[in-house]
Every structure is written in C-alpha cells, then in structure tokens.
Amino acid sequence: MDMSFILVQILSGLTMATLLFLVASGLTLIFGVGNVFNFAHGSFYMLGAYLAYQAASVWHTNFWIATIVAALGAGVAGMLAEWLFLRRIYGRSEEGGFQILLTYSFILVIDDIVKLVWGTEYKSLLRPPGLTGSVQVFGVTTPTYNLAIIGIGLAVVVLAWLILSRTRPGKVARASALDREMLSAMGVNVPLTMTLVFGIATALGGFAGALAAPLRSVTPGAGIEVIIDSLIVVVIGGMGNFWGAWLGALILGEVMAFAVILVPEWAVVISYVVMVLTLIFKPEGLFAHSKVRKV
Amino acid sequence: MGSIKSYMEAAFWALVFLAFALLPLSKASDYQLMLAGHILVWGLFAVSFNMLWGGTGMLSFGQALYYGLGAYSVGIVFKYWGDGWFLPAMALGILCSIVLAILIGLLIIRVGGVFFTVMTLAFGQLAWQITFRWYGFTGGDDGIQGIIPPGILGNRIAYYYFTLVLVALSIFLLRRLAVSPMGLTLRCVRQNPDRVRFLGQSVKRSQLTIYVISSAFAALAGGLMAGVDNSIHPNMLYWTTSGEVILMSVLGGIGQFFGPFIGAAALIIIEDIVGARTEFWPLIVGIIMMVMVLLFPRGLVGEARKLVSRFRTRVPERG
C-alpha cells in the first residue's frame, strides 16, 4: 500500500463523512432539541435526491438551484409531517414507542409516494458544470465535485455552530432541549419552534440527498440505507450531540472508505462492528460528556 | 383472576382453537390452510413480541433477527444434513436465539428508551446483511427452497396440526408467564422501575429475562414458518419483518395479551385481500399504522373492550 493510495482513500472517506454528517446532523438536531428519534429522516434525504433530479433533469434548472429546491422541499415536507401528525402525540407519554412507529409509517408512505411519482427505475444526476473534472491534491487526482462537497460540509458545520451558539433562535433551540415548560413560560412559542427545528433538520437531510445524487444513483429505498448509516454515526458520536455527529461521521466515513477497498463484500458489516465496539466500550457515545457544555 | 370475565375469555379462546382445529376437516383448500398456518405462526410471533413491548415497554425493532435465526437454523441444517434433522434444528434455532439474545441483551439493555429500539434495529440489520451476503452458506438472496419436514410432518395437514399444537402450547405458556409473579414484576418495570428497585428486584435482570424469552419464541415461530412455507428468504430478517410484527401488535392492541394475535389475523387477511391487488402494499401498511397510532392507540381489541365497557357500567380490568 503506497502513500498515494492511502491519500485517495482518505479523501474519498472525507467526502463520504461530509455527506453522512449532513444527514446525521439533522437526525441529531431533532433528537437533541425535540427528543424525537425520526426514523424517517433517511426518507427526507431520498426525497431531496428525487427533488433535485426533478429540478435539474426534468425542469433543467441549474444544479445549485436544484439543491436548494431539494432542501426547501424536504424542509416543507418535514414541517408538514411534524405539524399534521407528530405534534398530536407529543403529550402521550405512556407509550414512547408510538413516536417511533409514526415516523416508521412515514418511511413506508414516502417510499411509495416516491415510487408513484418517479417510478422504480434508477435515476441519475449529472455533476454541476465546472465541477466535472478533477484536480491534483497532494499529488493524487481527486474529483473537484468531491472537494466541493467537503467544502460545503465544512461551511454548514461552521454556520450551524454559529447559529446554535451565537444567535437567539439557536439559544431557543438549545433551551427547548432542556426545559420546554420554562421556555413557554418565557413567552416562546414552543410548538412553532419544534416545527421549525424539524423543518431545518429535514432540509439538511434533503440537501445532503441532493449533493449525494451525482455520486450515488437515486433509488427508492435509499432512505433505509441512509437512516441505518446515520444511526451508526449518532451512536458512535453520542445521540443529540452536534460535534459527536461530526466525529462519528468522520470515523465511519474513513473506516468505510478503507473497508470498501480491503474487504469489499463485508464493508457494510464493518460499519456495524465499529458501532458495536463503541457500544461495548462507551455506550453513551464517544463525545457524550461534552453534551452538557455544548449543545 | 377467576372472575366471570376471565372464564369468558378462556371460552372464547377455546372456541378459536376449536375453529383452527376443525379447519382441515372443512374441505379448506391448501391455500387456505397455508393462510391459517401463517396466522398461527405470526400470531405466536406477535404475542411473544408484545410480551416485550406491551408488557415491559421495551420496543424492539429487531425481533426479525430471532425469527430469521429460527428459520435459518432449520433451513441450513436441512440443506446440509437432510430432513431427518428438522426437529433438532428447530430446537437448535431456539437455543442459538437464547444465547444470542443473552449476549445482545447484555449489551443493549444498559441503554434504555429509544436507544434500545435503535440498537435492536441495528443488530437486526447486521444479521440481515450477513445472511444476505454470505451466499455460500445461507444461499444469499435466493434463500433456501424445498424444505419438506420429515415423515408424517411432510403431510400438509399433519404439519398444520403440529403448528397448531406448538403455537397453542407456547401462547398458553406465555399467558401463564404474563399472569405469574414474574409477569407482574415486568409490568411494574414498565410503570415504575424505581419502585421495583426499592422492592429489591433487579430491573435489568427482569428486562433481560423477558428479552430472551420473547426472542426464543420468535425463533420457534421462525422455525415453524420454514415448514409452513417450505422455503426461507433473507427478507425474514429484514427490518420490515420487525415492522410488520409491531404493526400487528398495534393493530390488535398492545395493552391486551391476546391483542397481537387478533392483529396478526387481521393484517394477514387484509394483506390477502388487498395486497394481491396493489403493488403499493407498504403504503397501505403505513396508512394503517398512522391511523392506529393517531386515532386508535388501544388497537382493535382495546377499542372493542372500551366500547363494551361503555354499555356496561363496570370498568373492565386490563387483560
């Protein structure tokens, strides 16, 4: 194994990690703020991929506009799902599992709606013009589009961190994770906050789906693979923890990048092994202790 | 217990058993017999699953793992050693499930609530991936076909009665467990774990015990299914299988011991009527789940009981 091979894999792992982070951050945001585990988060990712396909390949819009369409569409769908359905069962403390079942039913419904609208065959999306080539990074050839994804991911991390830690909406979101009753006594519209957070989280998922579309084919059922990957990420990083999701995505992305080359058949199994090891040695996630300080 | 109500319930289930027992005598077609076999096996699977969720509040999204393990134990032993090993293979599947459930249980019962659900899902999917990819050993996507039980059990009707007896016996045992002191402790675990701790009972051990028991019966259901369908498929381990058994429980009513059995029967009959006519069966499953969760959280049996109790003045006890 020479150096350039390792570099290629590290870079491809970084691309994968960025996409994983974009999805998992939405999952962890909803969990951290609203204490809802959204099983259907991967379905919003898939919805985003299809919306991007629709905008770019059918309506012939610019690729970047298509990603915005995807994010907005997934965000609106998420807000509707929260407002119409999830909101009705928040108070029902007796059976917490119902929340999971409701989001599970979203998966089934969204999957079939996607099949109804776009059919079952694979869809693909071209890379945006200007990012179809490759450049030399440390002596290895890397697709520019992959570098762009890494850059965008970093920008989103910084932006999300600034919003969460420096602005009033971020403060409200963090507060609602801690004490919703107190927050509503302070005059904050908590239900509205929840809907908005849900919308932002699903928009992140949809955006990731759109960015990933040129790299992976767009298929129904993609949501299920993605949700499993994201839950491995949040388990590694610690549920509800923003930076944990970033670290978890980085670990999983790099492990997968090397596993795909070294043990191609069993790469998926390796990702579970990482999760199981985390569970054995640090069941609360690698980053868990910092939850108190950060998000 | 011992009230008129519980005798009526016992009488009702005796009638259900009798109906299942008389079915092969009523010129039922092979297809109807298979459908009845499905109801019995899924009914056992759902009841055992609900011991975990309805009983203790632990929502597992990975019981398909044990169901599949039971089925694949039978299938793989059959493939390599022949049909004489059918019954020992079924026992082996249950044994493997018990061992695996103890190992996984020790790992994931430390994390409660939604984490438990997520972990069970992850382990279930891991098992599915392994089964799906290990083509040489498990037959991968093709599954294993032509699993004919040995001797007299190779006869459809004989196997049907074999299934009926095992399912009835298992459900009877689970029912005894649910009303035993152990079952009572489990219900307390759901309602007030702290008090259980104060009373000197180990919450974790109770949870582990019921997780293992539930998984063992799921494996029995899987093993039985291998003989009903004469084939097994990796989809038996897929998470939608876990989802389906959850839906059966919600449909029938998770607060009722027998609810999931009714839910299993209802879902299989609906699938038989509707599923054949549409390729959007998952959409229908999703909508049924949504409606039940939002509007009828007590399930069919629970809502029916509520309706009955509205006509009577007495408040019914929870089954």
Tens-place pLDDT, residues B8-66: 888 888 888 888 888 888 877 888 889 999 999 999 999 999 999 887 888 999 999 99
A288 versus B8: the higher-pLDDT residue is B8
Question: What is each CA distance from B109 to B105, B116, B189, B207, in whole angstroms?
Answer: 5, 7, 13, 7
In sequence order, which residues have a C-beta less than 8 Å from that of residue B228 and are 6 or more positions away? B34, B37, B38, B41, B159, B163
Contact B286 A107 (CB under 8 A): yes
What confidence tier does A293 reach under pLDDT thresholds 50, 70, 90? very low
Q: What is the mean pLDDT of residues B84-91?
A: 88
- Bridge partners (DSSP) of residue A143 are A134
What confidence tier does B2 reach under pLDDT thresholds 50, 70, 90? low
Q: Which residues of A touch B110 (CB under 8 A)?
A: 283
pLDDT at A93: 56
What is the chain A residue with the closest CA to B247? A101
pLDDT at A119: 85
ipTM of the complex as predicted: 0.84
pLDDT at A204: 93
B126 versus A285: the higher-pLDDT residue is B126
Lowest mean pLDDT among A20-34, A277-291, B198-212: A277-291
Domain of A195, CATH number, reads 1.10.3470
In sequence order, which residues have a C-beta less than 8 Å from that of residue B86 and are 6 or more positions away? B74, B77, B78, B149, B150, B153, B227
Give the C-alpha separation, B295 to A285, whole Å: 36
pLDDT at B315: 55
pLDDT at A37: 84
Contact B297 A95 (CB under 8 A): yes
Give the C-alpha separation, A222 to A219, whole Å: 6
A263 and B CB contact within 8 Å: no
The CB-based long-range contact list for A158-164 (8 Å cut-off, 24+ gap) reads A160/A25, A160/A242, A161/A242, A164/A242, A164/A295
Q: What is the mean pLDDT of residues B118-135?
A: 87
Proportion of chain B above pLDDT 70, given as a percent: 97
pLDDT at A19: 92
State the pairing for strand pair B144-145/A134-137: unpaired
Interface test with B, best of A94, A99, A108, A110 (most B CBs within 10 A): A108
pLDDT at B261: 94
pLDDT at A292: 41
pLDDT at A291: 42
B237 versus A243: the higher-pLDDT residue is B237
Positive or negative: CA dihedral A237, A242, A243, A248: positive
- Whether the predicted pLDDT of B221 surpasses 60: yes
Contact B286 A106 (CB under 8 A): yes
DSSP B151-197: GGGGSHHHHHHHHHHHHHHHHHHHHHHHHSHHHHHHHHHHH-HHHHH
B128 and A CB contact within 8 Å: no
What is the chain B residue with the closest CA to A236? B119
- Whether the predicted pLDDT of A215 surpasses 90: no
What is the rounded end-to-end Cα distance, in angstroms, of chain B? 10
Mean pLDDT rounded to a whole number for chain B? 87
What confidence tier does A96 reach under pLDDT thresholds 50, 70, 90? low
Domains of chain B: 4-311 (1.10.3470)
Q: Which residues of A touch B283 (CB under 8 A)?
A: 108-109, 111-113
- Whether the predicted pLDDT of B316 surpasses 60: no
Q: What is the mean pLDDT of residues A177-181?
A: 79
The pair phi, psi for residue A229, each rounded to 5°, is: -60, -45
B30 versus B263: the higher-pLDDT residue is B263
Q: Return the H-helix or E-strand segment holding A134.
A: strand A134-137
Lowest mean pLDDT among A49-58, A278-287, B1-10, B184-193: B1-10
Q: What is the mean pLDDT of residues B294-315?
A: 80
Positive or negative: CA dihedral A159, A164, A168, A169: positive
- Whether the predicted pLDDT of A294 surpasses 50: no
> 32-91 in A: which are within 8 Å (CB) of B?
37, 85, 88-89
pLDDT at B137: 85
A119 and B CB contact within 8 Å: no
pLDDT at B251: 92
Q: What is the mean pLDDT of residues B174-198?
A: 83
Contact A112 B283 (CB under 8 A): yes
What confidence tier does B1 reach under pLDDT thresholds 50, 70, 90? very low
Q: What is the mean pLDDT of residues A30-49?
A: 88
Specify which of A36-40, A50-54, A165-169, B309-313 reaches the highest per-range mean pLDDT: A50-54
Question: What is each CA distance from B87 to A278, B44, B147, B153, B232, in whole angstroms?
Answer: 38, 18, 12, 10, 16
A232 and B CB contact within 8 Å: yes
B64 versus A188: the higher-pLDDT residue is B64
Residue A117 lies in domain: 3-291
A246 versus B264: the higher-pLDDT residue is B264
E-only strand ranges, chain B: 144-145, 231-232
Q: Which residues of A touch B118 (CB under 8 A)?
A: 37, 231, 235
Q: Is A218 helix (H, G, I), strand (E, B) or coil?
A: strand
pLDDT at B110: 78
What confidence tier does A288 reach under pLDDT thresholds 50, 70, 90? low
Q: Which residue among A85, A104, A108 places its CB closest to the CB of B294?
A: A85
pLDDT at A95: 52
Domain tally, chain A: 1
Give the C-alpha separation, B195 to B200, whole Å: 9
State pLDDT tens for residues B240-262: 899 999 999 999 988 888 899 99
B140 and A CB contact within 8 Å: no
